[in-house]
Structure 1
Amino acid sequence: METAEQLLVQNYGIGGRYEPHVDALEIENDRIATFLIYMSDVEIGGATVFPKVGVTVHPKKGSAVLWYNLHRNGEKNLNTKHAGCPVLMGNKWVANKWIHEFGQEFRRPCSLSDWE
Structure 2
Amino acid sequence: MNLFAKGDPRDTTSPAAMATSLARFAVGNGLQPASRQQFAAWLVDTQTGAACLRAGLGKRWRVGDKTGSNGDDTRNDIAVLWPHAGGPAWVVTAYLQGAAVDDDQRAAVLARVGALADAMIG
TM-score, normalization by structure 2: 0.30
Structure with more relative contact order (C-alpha pairs < 8 Å, separation 6 or more)? 1
TM-score, normalization by structure 1: 0.32
Higher normalized helix content (fraction of residues) = 2
Higher normalized strand content (fraction of residues) = 1
